[in-house]
């Protein structure tokens, strides 16, 4: 099983004394037009099966991203100090399938079945069993921590799921501790004697257990790197926006996702604007042009231009996909389904004939509502900036060598994004005209 731990829903439930929600129905599911829904579903499945990346998604799930991240130079390594990992070959999907996967797992009737069950059969982590892991978890508990021991990553992944911990924030907290240890911001004594050098998987496992039990140093680190840094120092080493740790993308080499992670309402979040279009532009050039009007250029992921347009489009459709209850992997984040597929499935299921442009407007309304919520809580333009270190520290090696965020060009991209969104340029708050236009006044 997997813990739905990202962003702390368990803490929200705990604050309400809520242990669980169990839902059971016995009335079946009514649809407006069964034949049309069957046709729309077959069309969607056809698009999935015809996608150029279908075979790799089916075989490796999101682990197919690891070699792409390494090749383009956006695989966060040793707490975002580097963007390629010398141990990346050991973390490929092929290695996982050969040594650890026991069988595929998928959601009901999904033609991709992107997940797998796993088991470690030998070594210190023998008898570890679990489900997954996603690329995000492999990077968080692997490359970000300088750890190329796949069995240890699987053990940590299983532990996190059993303990209800988010693998991304857990991995980022460990990686932050390791960098602080390396730079003598934290001493081994402060870390209860644990030798938390990059790559020490045994110490990582011990620290995860301490965090879950809130034992010793684990009590402070259980709050996450952001809050721990306020007490212990090293705040400039935490890679986050709005308090949420960054996912497995080094945004110095992907300028659109730099914008996306920084403006996301939940903070550093890959599920609000993640764009396969940005990192696989050659494969999807025609779709990108037809959907957004953008003509991609060579090394598109390194460009600032047109990213405000691209991310605005993704964000709106991410909101629609979330509202429809569809999968993000085969939804809009990683292609291959397009707005026309969502429109047809919704119309057939509900009878609502909503044109594609109005569906996107619904997504835009949701995005603005979330923005207004954050504005009410005091968030402003300064909260839409990536961490300072990613502006100041260029990538030292690999295909993205020399890349960092350029402050002036980032500001221009953000200004363009606010303009497209209809938000005030000095605060980032939706204007009254925009609120009226979206019936949010
Ligand atoms: S619906 Fe999505 S998450 Fe579920 S198996 Fe299919 S691709 Fe994977």
Name the token pair of 282.
């050659």
pLDDT score, position 334: 67
Poorest-confidence range of 62-76, 333-347, 424-438?
333-347
Co-location of 21 and 54 in the same domain? no
Q: How far is CA 287 from CA 3, 15, 109, 276, in A?
A: 34, 44, 26, 12
**pLDDT beyond 80 at 314:** yes
| Direct distance between the N- and C-terminal alpha carbons of the chain, in angstroms, rounded to an integer | 42
Name the token pair of 370.
């979330």
Co-location of 266 and 395 in the same domain? yes
**pLDDT beyond 90 at 251:** yes
**Would residue 218 count as lying in a domain?**
yes
Domain ends where: 196, 222, 238?
238
Ligand 1 contact via 329 beta carbon (within 6 Å): yes
**pLDDT beyond 90 at 9:** no
Ligand 1 contact via 106 beta carbon (within 6 Å): yes
pLDDT score, position 359: 97
* Cβ atoms 256, 275 nearer than 8 A: yes
Ligand 1 pocket mutation, candidates 112, 328, 332, 341, criterion most atoms within 8 A of CB: 112
Co-location of 254 and 209 in the same domain? no
Domain ends where: 189, 212, 238?
238
Q: Give the domain CATH number at 409.
A: 1.10.599.10
**Would residue 435 count as lying in a domain?**
yes
pLDDT score, position 3: 82
pLDDT score, position 63: 96
Ligand 1 contact via 64 beta carbon (within 6 Å): no
Task: Pick the residue whose CA is nearest to atom 8 on ligand 1.
Answer: 114
Q: Which atom of ligand 1 sits closest to the CA of residue 331?
A: 2
pLDDT score, position 336: 86
Ligand 1 pocket mutation, candidates 65, 103, 107, 336, criterion most atoms within 8 A of CB: 107
Ligand 1 contact via 45 beta carbon (within 6 Å): no
Euclidean distance between CA atoms 141 and 381, whole angstroms: 32
When pLDDT is averaged across residues 384-408 and rounded to a whole number, the result is: 97
Q: Give the domain CATH number at 219.
A: 1.10.569.10
Angle between helices 201-213 and 167-182 (to 10 degrees): 120
Euclidean distance between CA atoms 156 and 177, whole angstroms: 16
**Would residue 22 count as lying in a domain?**
yes
Q: How far is CA 46 from CA 50, 108, 112, 164, 350, in A?
A: 6, 17, 12, 36, 22
Co-location of 366 and 388 in the same domain? yes
Which structural domain, as residue segments, surrounds residue 179? 1-30+77-238
- Please name every residue paired with 130 in a beta bridge, in sequence order, or none if there are none: 118
Which residues have a Cβ under 8 Å from the Cβ of 269 and sit 6 or more positions away?
A: 7, 244, 247, 261
- Please name every residue paired with 214 in a beta bridge, in sequence order, or none if there are none: none
Sequence length of the chain is: 441
Q: Cis link prior to 336 (omega < 30° from 0)?
A: yes
- Please name every residue paired with 272 in a beta bridge, in sequence order, or none if there are none: none
Co-location of 203 and 328 in the same domain? no
CB atoms within 10 A of CB 296: 21
Ligand 1 contact via 111 beta carbon (within 6 Å): no
Which residues have a Cβ under 8 Å from the Cβ of 3 and sit 6 or more positions away?
A: 10, 160, 161, 162, 163, 164, 165, 166
**pLDDT beyond 70 at 281:** yes
Which residues have a Cβ under 8 Å from the Cβ of 213 and sit 6 or more positions away?
A: none
**Would residue 277 count as lying in a domain?**
yes
Euclidean distance between CA atoms 187 and 332, whole angstroms: 44
Co-location of 305 and 205 in the same domain? no
Co-location of 231 and 95 in the same domain? yes
Ligand 1 contact via 330 beta carbon (within 6 Å): yes
Co-location of 188 and 288 in the same domain? no
**pLDDT beyond 80 at 331:** no
Tens-place pLDDT, residues 20-78: 899 998 988 899 999 999 999 999 999 999 999 999 999 999 999 999 999 999 999 99
Going by C-alpha positions, the residue among 134, 133, 137 that lies closest to residue 119 is: 133
Ligand 1 pocket mutation, candidates 41, 321, 329, criterion most atoms within 8 A of CB: 329
Co-location of 173 and 260 in the same domain? no
* Cβ atoms 172, 144 nearer than 8 A: yes
Co-location of 308 and 365 in the same domain? yes
Longest dimension (CA), the chain: 67
Ligand 1 contact via 271 beta carbon (within 6 Å): no
* Cβ atoms 73, 403 nearer than 8 A: yes
Residue recorded with tokens 């502006």: 391
Domain ends where: 238, 256, 289?
238
Co-location of 190 and 228 in the same domain? yes
CA dihedral 353, 358, 360, 362 (to 10 degrees): -90
- Sign of the Cα pseudo-torsion (133, 134, 137, 141, in order): positive
**Structural domain count, the chain:** 2
Co-location of 93 and 50 in the same domain? no
**Would residue 437 count as lying in a domain?**
yes
Report the relative pairing of strands 129-131 and 115-119 from DSSP bridges: antiparallel
Going by C-alpha positions, the residue among 86, 85, 91 that lies closest to residue 137 is: 91
Which residues have a Cβ under 8 Å from the Cβ of 218 and sit 6 or more positions away?
A: 192, 207, 209, 210, 211, 212
When pLDDT is averaged across residues 337-361 and rounded to a whole number, the result is: 96
* Cβ atoms 418, 425 nearer than 8 A: yes
Poorest-confidence range of 13-27, 115-129, 208-222?
13-27
Euclidean distance between CA atoms 73 and 301, whole angstroms: 10
When pLDDT is averaged across residues 125-137 and rounded to a whole number, the result is: 96
Full 3-state SS string of 260-297: HHHHCCCCCCCCCCCCHHHHCCCCCHHHHHHHHCCCCC
pLDDT score, position 20: 87
pLDDT score, position 369: 98
Which residues have a Cβ under 8 Å from the Cβ of 432 and sit 6 or more positions away?
A: 441
Q: Which atom of ligand 1 sits closest to the CA of residue 327?
A: 2
């Amino acid at each position: 099983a997997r813990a739905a731990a990202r962003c702390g829903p368990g803490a929200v439930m705990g604050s309400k004394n809520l242990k669980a929600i169990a839902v059971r129905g016995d009335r079946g599911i009514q649809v407006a037009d069964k034949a049309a829904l069957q046709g729309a579903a077959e069309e969607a499945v056809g698009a999935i099966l015809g996608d150029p990346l279908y075979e790799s998604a089916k075989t490796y799930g999101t682990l197919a991203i690891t070699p792409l991240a390494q090749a383009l130079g956006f695989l966060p390594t040793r707490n975002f100090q580097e963007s390629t990992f010398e141990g990346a070959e050991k973390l490929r999907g092929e290695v996982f399938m050969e040594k650890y996967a026991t069988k595929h797992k998928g959601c009901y009737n999904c033609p991709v079945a992107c997940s797998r069950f796993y088991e470690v059969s030998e070594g210190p982590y023998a008898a570890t069993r679990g489900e997954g892991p996603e690329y995000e978890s492999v990077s968080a508990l692997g490359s970000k921590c300088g750890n190329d021991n796949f069995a240890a990553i699987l053990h940590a992944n299983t532990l996190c799921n059993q303990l209800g911990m988010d693998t991304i924030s857990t991995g980022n907290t460990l990686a932050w501790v390791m960098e602080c240890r390396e730079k003598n911001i934290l001493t081994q004594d402060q870390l209860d004697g644990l030798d938390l050098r990059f790559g020490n998987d045994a110490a990582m496992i011990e620290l995860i257990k301490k965090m879950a039990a809130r034992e010793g140093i684990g009590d402070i680190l259980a709050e996450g790197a952001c809050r721990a840094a306020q007490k212990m120092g090293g705040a400039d080493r935490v890679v986050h926006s709005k308090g949420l740790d960054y996912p497995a993308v080094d945004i110095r080499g992907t300028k659109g996702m730099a914008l996306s992670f920084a403006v996301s309402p939940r903070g550093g979040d890959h599920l609000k604007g993640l764009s396969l279009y940005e990192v696989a532009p050659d494969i999807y050039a025609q779709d990108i042009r037809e959907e957004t009007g953008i003509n991609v250029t060579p090394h598109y992921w390194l460009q600032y231009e047109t990213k405000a347009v691209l991310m605005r489009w993704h964000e709106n459709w991410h909101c629609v996909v979330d509202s429809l209850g569809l999968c993000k992997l085969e939804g809009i984040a990683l292609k291959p389904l397009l707005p026309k597929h969502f429109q047809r499935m919704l119309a057939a299921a509900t009878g609502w004939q909503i044109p594609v442009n109005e569906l996107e407007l619904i997504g835009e309304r949701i995005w603005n509502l979330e923005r207004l919520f954050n504005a009410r809580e005091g968030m402003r333009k300064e909260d839409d900036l990536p961490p300072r270190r990613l502006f100041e520290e260029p990538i030292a090696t690999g295909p993205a060598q020399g890349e960092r965020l350029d402050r002036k060009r980032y500001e221009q991209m953000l200004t363009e994004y606010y303009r497209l969104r209809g938000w005030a340029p000095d605060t980032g708050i939706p204007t009254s005209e925009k609120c009226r236009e979206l019936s949010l006044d």
